[in-house]
Amino acid sequence: MKKLISLMLALVLLISIASVPAVADTTEDIPYAYLMYADASWTNQYWGADDGSGVKAVNADVTGPGEYTVSLDFTGTKDGEAKGIAFTALGIDQGELYYPFHTIELLSISINGEEIEFTKGYTSSDDGIVTRMNIYNEWVAEIPYDARSFDNDISDVSAVIVSKEAFASVKTIEVSFRLHAPSDLAYLMYADADWKYQYWGGEPENGVAATNATITGPGTYTVGLDFTQTEDKVASGLAFTALGIKTGERTFPGYFIKIRDIKVNGKSISFKKGYTSSDDKVVTRMNIYNEWVGELPDDARSYDGEVDDAAWMIVDKEAFDSVETVEVTFEFIQPTAEAYIMYADTAWKYTYFIDDEPADVKATNATVTDPGYYKVALDFTGTEDKAASGVAFTALGIKDAEISHPGWFIMIRSIRVNGKEIEFSKGYTSSDDRKETRMNIYNEWVSELPDNARSYDGNLDGAGWMIVDPADFESVETMEVEFAFIRGERPKKEKEAEIDIDAALAADYNAYFGIQTESYIFRNQWNEKNYGKHTDNFTHLTGWDDDNNQVDYGGSFTDAAVTGNGTYTVGVELGPMGLGTDTFIRMLFVSTDIPSVLIDKGLVTISDVKTSFDGGKAQTKFTVNTDGEYAQIDILNEYTSTGTQAISYSMPEKSITITFTVSGLSKDAGAQGASAGSATSGELPGTGGVPGEIMFALGGAITSFGIFLTARRKKKA
């Protein structure tokens, strides 16, 4: 049996070793350091816990930055020694969660009481939980994305830092190390017009004096350059400049740069908004003047979540004609997101979704920043019934974390109902809208793992969307979830589907009116899989009764055939039922089949948008949404930054029209081609269930542009 375990472990090592529990099996929840070890035959092993094999371990509780020593003694084993070496590494259990982005510096390695030589290693983690430094690991093919070093230099690191021969006969092994808090170096990259005076973060040359800054976390810092001691006393003109943080992508991953001030010769100059990115996945930078950039890089990010208005040349070149000194003050901003529990009881009487907070349900949310443990909770004791009866849906959500913490993982540690811990099975991390990170706890509307499902341990076997017994939620006064937020690698951006641009600019397109109201009376996007153009729902407004049966609200739509550059109108003539008693509109939009890439590349423009209710004064605000494959004109959108108050309006009684102009196509249009459809109001055959595809909360998706609804309609009393 032991040989089988050893073989299985060896196979795991071929990918990357992950042999200790996700959460340490210790009596006290304190991170501890230990030495992972396997001898040449995998006979003698140690992975952080006593397995009765006779290996005596001395581990060390890790209480913060400082020096520690761990050791193994094999003299009590059957052979009295460990022969040869297959693998060894220094590990800190839960180190990534308690001491995120910290680094290990090896001080000494002793075998049988004698120190041996070693070269430079790196700090990383295979699972986002255990911090490690490989000492001898032949299975590493390349340095991992999260590799970091105490001296901020990973150019000379390796996963094998000792000689195998030194481990021929190991009775004892002892490793001493120092744990460092994260720090980094900020500096100003610079090249004048003639590239005579330059600076790139190292030792200054040619009389250039650099003022760098040590980065220790979020805060405001200043860097600068002084050219007054150079031969020319000034740097003439500007070829390139950028703010850099030496290994910021590894020491402070995901952080944002926000420039506060740029001074040239002591005088502040004007500048535009920039973006944070990296050219090599190591140096964090913000371009200040870079003529070599042609478009925003895939990893461009901004503290405000918006990069469309950011540039790579944010200063006027003329301000740098004659530079004696240049100084940049910037804010280094930690990414944050808000975690919370989504919940709906069986009757949907008591619900909580972060954008629709009821006054009688008390929520304790959590601001997540670095990897670590967090708690969120709900309290229903202030409601009329003092408790929520049963569960229709619940999930752990982290708002906008796919943007602030892309690729990170949720690992639920405990779930308590009314103060009592309940059992749960394995879940998965995913996102329905490419913005909010979530883990379903109980979601009957999911039938299969989504394409973006992920797990911190790389294994989705057994992961589910209903991980609790609903019987435990019969009467919920309080609910609490403790979870670990675990760092993951930023997903690689999907390449845009290549299209024939000339053919696309010459093609004909269509535009369709779309709406969603307070109680989810709707007409969805033309390509939405469950209620789109191919369904009867697309011919009329659809609502829902108290039993979640579809109700035909009638109405007649005007859609448009976009046959070239021109002005078009879409809209709806409301039926006898109007929009019911609803008081606001969640979404008002025009869905098109114009490829988003044409908009993103600036080839096609949508402008002069005018929205009118009941023939009244036209409103002109709009957003072109290119998150999905096809462009959409958003007038109102509760689920994006457009919001529900972008225009002022009163609920329409008769009609809504949206007029817009398309330009940039390779031909002009003749008269607008329009199609209209109508339906008689009345109730459709009962479908039961919940309108899943209009609910982000339940895992449905408006797939045409990646926007997903964040709340489920409450049942009427």
- Helix/strand/coil (H, E, C) string of 378-415? EECCCCCCCCECCCCEEEEEEECHHHHCCCCEEEEEEE
Assign 320 to helix, strand or coil: helix
| pLDDT exceeds 80 at position 15 | no
Lowest mean pLDDT segment, chosen from 22-31, 221-230, 539-548, 646-655: 22-31
Q: What is the mean pLDDT of the chain?
A: 88
Specify the pLDDT at position 318: 96
What would the pLDDT profile of 490-519 be if each residue is shown by its tens digit? 887 666 567 899 999 999 999 999 999 998
- 338 in Cβ contact with 327 (< 8 Å): no
For residue 444, give the nearest of 245, 700, 649 by alpha carbon: 700
Assign 461 to helix, strand or coil: coil
Rounded CA-CA distance 471/473 in Å is 5
Place of tokens 């883990």: 439
Provide the β-strand partners of residue 267: 264
CA dihedral 346, 389, 429, 454 (to 10 degrees): -60
Provide the β-strand partners of residue 544: 550
Average pLDDT over every residue of 282-301: 93
The residue type found at 689 is: G
Sign of CA pseudo-dihedral 17, 19, 24, 30: negative
Rounded CA-CA distance 163/177 in Å is 19
Count Cβ neighbours within 10 Å for each residue of 332-343 and write b for 16 or more, e otherwise.
bbebebbbbbbb
In degrees, rounded to 5, the angle at the alpha carbon of residue 220 between the alpha carbons of residues 219 and 221 is 120
Rounded CA-CA distance 404/255 in Å is 9
pLDDT band at 180 (very low <50, low <70, confident <90, very high): very high
Residue 322 class from Cβ within 10 Å (0-12 exposed, 13-18 middle, 19+ buried)? middle
Give the number of other CB atoms < 10 A from CB of residue 236: 15
pLDDT band at 281 (very low <50, low <70, confident <90, very high): confident
Check: pTM over 0.95? Answer yes or no.
Answer: no
Phi, psi of 454 (to 5 degrees): -150, 160
- 109 in Cβ contact with 116 (< 8 Å): yes
Specify the pLDDT at position 684: 32
What would the pLDDT profile of 702-716 be if each residue is shown by its tens digit? 322 222 333 333 322
Give the C-alpha distances (Å, rounded to integers) separating 85 from 150, 160, 168, 261.
26, 11, 7, 55
- The percentage of the chain sitting over the pLDDT mark of 90, rounded to a whole number, equals 77
What would the pLDDT profile of 558-595 be if each residue is shown by its tens digit? 999 999 999 999 999 999 999 999 999 999 999 999 99
Place of tokens 């408790």: 387
Specify the pLDDT at position 28: 53
Rounded CA-CA distance 334/303 in Å is 9
pLDDT band at 545 (very low <50, low <70, confident <90, very high): confident
What would the pLDDT profile of 312-333 be if each residue is shown by its tens digit? 999 999 999 999 999 999 999 9
Tokens of 620: 């002109």
Sign of CA pseudo-dihedral 345, 351, 354, 358: negative
CA dihedral 14, 19, 23, 28 (to 10 degrees): -150
Lowest mean pLDDT segment, chosen from 341-345, 488-492, 542-546, 582-586: 488-492
Residues whose CB is less than 8 angstroms from the CB of residue 229 and which lie 6 or more positions away in sequence, other chains included: 207, 208, 209
Rounded CA-CA distance 617/631 in Å is 26
Specify the pLDDT at position 109: 98
pLDDT band at 672 (very low <50, low <70, confident <90, very high): low
Specify the pLDDT at position 52: 85
Length of the chain in terms of residues written:
717
Specify the pLDDT at position 389: 96
Residues whose CB is less than 8 angstroms from the CB of residue 685 and which lie 6 or more positions away in sequence, other chains included: 550
DSSP state of 38: E
| pLDDT exceeds 90 at position 71 | yes
Phi, psi of 600 (to 5 degrees): -60, -35
| pLDDT exceeds 80 at position 65 | yes
What would the pLDDT profile of 198-257 be if each residue is shown by its tens digit? 999 999 999 999 999 999 999 999 999 999 999 999 999 999 999 999 999 989 999 999
What would the pLDDT profile of 605-622 be if each residue is shown by its tens digit? 999 999 999 999 999 999
pLDDT band at 19 (very low <50, low <70, confident <90, very high): very low
The residue type found at 474 is: E
Average pLDDT over every residue of 691-710: 34
What would the pLDDT profile of 453-478 be if each residue is shown by its tens digit? 999 999 999 999 999 999 999 999 99
509: left (phi over 0), alpha (psi -120 to 50) or beta: beta
Task: Determine the distance from the C-alpha atom of residue 62 to the mean position of all C-alpha atoms in its chain, rounded to a whole number.
Answer: 29
| pLDDT exceeds 80 at position 123 | yes
Residues whose CB is less than 8 angstroms from the CB of residue 425 and which lie 6 or more positions away in sequence, other chains included: 462, 464, 467, 468
Place of tokens 């003299």: 75
Phi, psi of 50 (to 5 degrees): -70, 125
Lowest mean pLDDT segment, chosen from 137-141, 441-445, 498-502, 661-665: 498-502
DSSP state of 83: E
What would the pLDDT profile of 408-436 be if each residue is shown by its tens digit? 999 999 999 999 999 999 999 999 888 89
Lowest mean pLDDT segment, chosen from 123-127, 151-155, 282-286, 382-386: 151-155
Specify the pLDDT at position 5: 38
Tokens of 187: 């500096």
What would the pLDDT profile of 519-538 be if each residue is shown by its tens digit? 899 999 999 888 999 999 99
The residue type found at 195 is: W
What would the pLDDT profile of 674-691 be if each residue is shown by its tens digit? 554 433 333 333 323 333
Stronger pLDDT, 169 or 544, i.e. the higher one: 169
